[in-house]
Amino acid sequence: MFKVGITGNIGSGKTTVCKIFEVLGIPVFYADDEAKKLMVKDVVLVEGIKEAFGAESYLADGTLNRKHIAGIVFNNEEELVKLNRLVHPAVFRAFEVWVQQFKGRKDVPYVLKEAALLFESDSYKMCHRSLMISAPEKIRMQRVVLRDKVSEEEVQKRNSRQMSEEQKLDLANDIIINDDTKLVIPQVLQLHKLYLSLAQNE
Ligand SMILES: CC(C)(COP(=O)(O)OP(=O)(O)OC[C@H]1O[C@@H](n2cnc3c(N)ncnc32)[C@H](O)[C@@H]1O)[C@@H](O)C(=O)NCCC(=O)NCCS
Ligand SMILES: Nc1ncnc2c1ncn2[C@@H]1O[C@H](COP(=O)(O)OP(=O)(O)OP(=O)(O)O)[C@@H](O)[C@H]1O
């Protein structure tokens, strides 16, 4: 199965672009959502998280205490590395299992994997192609502050834990500019055409 990894820094518009691909019939694996699901249902992972970040990592109803974990990991690089080492292998495995269901399906020419840390986690190496959604930092910050009702300082903290826009642009095969000056849908349609032909020749 032809796999395209899609990424972009915080607030770039990854999810927004994925929704357009979904309208075109392309299945999307949302790695960040899957990570959150696994962090509550994978018993080995749950134990690892409790051991690393304390029993407060879970609320009384068993849901993830995201505020608690975010407070630790986005203030300390070592703790973030620890979290990533626990979570990422489980997400990689889940993606491979998810892909299996589309094997041999004529109506599914390729699949997308949306991951905020596609490059940082090296998971782009498991995809045939990587697509980067790019927007200037100022616009990205404004979008997330509006969407999540959080302070710019909070957004900045996460942004600083990610590879720079320039490094990612260097690694990406394809780029969508989502800076409010270029229309997004035509860019998606052009890449969809490219992926269809690459997948056919795969
Ligand atoms: C720390 C957690 C609980 C905070 O949850 P919260 O709901 O506040 O944030 P959310 O998950 O929606 O992330 C928002 C944005 O933060 C950034 N972010 C999330 N995880 C990371 C990370 N490990 N490193 C750097 N940035 C990150 C991304 O830009 C992401 O889009 C959560 O982000 C998490 O579980 N992260 C670890 C899983 C992970 O690495 N996910 C990303 C790739 S699989
Ligand atoms: N071209 C655009 N014009 C206006 N608003 C946009 C545009 N693209 C994205 N947005 C808005 O910006 C916010 C961030 O977009 P989105 O959630 O798709 O980004 P993301 O890269 O998935 O973010 P995160 O890294 O935080 O998960 C959303 O509220 C979205 O509706």
In terms of residue numbers, what domain contains 149?
A: 1-27+109-202
What integer is the mean pLDDT of 136-150?
93
Q: Do 94 and 127 have their domain in common?
A: no
Give the C-alpha separation, 17 to 12, whole Å: 9
- Tell me which of 77, 101, 125 is where a domain ends: 101
Query: What's the number of domains the chain is made of?
Result: 2
Q: Do 96 and 63 have their domain in common?
A: yes
Q: Do 192 and 129 have their domain in common?
A: yes
Task: Give the rounded percent of residues in the chain with a pLDDT score beyond 90.
Answer: 88
| Best mutation site among 143, 159, 180, 184 for ligand 2 pocket (most ligand atoms within 8 Å of CB) | 143
Q: Give, using CA atoms, the residue closest to atom 10 of ligand 1.
A: 32
8 A C-beta contact, residue 161 and residue 74? yes
Q: Please provide the DSSP assignment of 108-168 as one string.
A: --EEEEE-TTTTTTTGGGGSSEEEEEE--HHHHHHHHHHHH---HHHHHHHHTTS--HHHH
Give the C-alpha separation, 117 to 122, whole Å: 8
Cβ atoms < 10 Å from Cβ of 128 = 16
Give the ligand with the smallest distance to the CA of 150: 1
Give the C-alpha separation, 193 to 174, whole Å: 13
Q: Do 158 and 188 have their domain in common?
A: yes
pLDDT tier at 202, thresholds 50, 70, 90: confident
The CATH number that applies at residue 139 is: 3.40.50.300
- Tell me which of 66, 101, 136 is where a domain ends: 101
Question: Strand 28-30 vs strand 110-114: parallel, antiparallel, or unpaired?
Answer: parallel
Pocket lined around ligand 1, Cβ cut-off 6 Å: 10, 31-32, 35-36, 39, 66, 69-70, 73, 80, 83-84, 87, 91, 115-117, 158, 161-162
Cα torsion 115, 119, 125, 129 to 10°: value is: 70
What integer is the mean pLDDT of 166-192?
96
Cα torsion 162, 82, 67, 58 to 10°: value is: 150
Give the ligand with the smallest distance to the CA of 58: 1
pLDDT at 158: 84
Nearest to 71 by CA among 197, 190, 182, 157: 157
Q: Do 89 and 161 have their domain in common?
A: no
ipTM of the complex: 0.87
pLDDT tier at 76, thresholds 50, 70, 90: very high
| Average per-residue pLDDT for the chain | 94
Give the C-alpha separation, 105 to 103, whole Å: 6
Q: Do 19 and 77 have their domain in common?
A: no
- Tell me which of 40, 69, 101 is where a domain ends: 101
Give the ligand with the smallest distance to the CA of 176: 2
8-27 confidence digits (pLDDT tens): 999 999 999 999 999 999 99
User: 14 among the known binding-site residues?
Assistant: yes
Residue 168 token pair = 């990612």
Residue 135 token pair = 């927007």
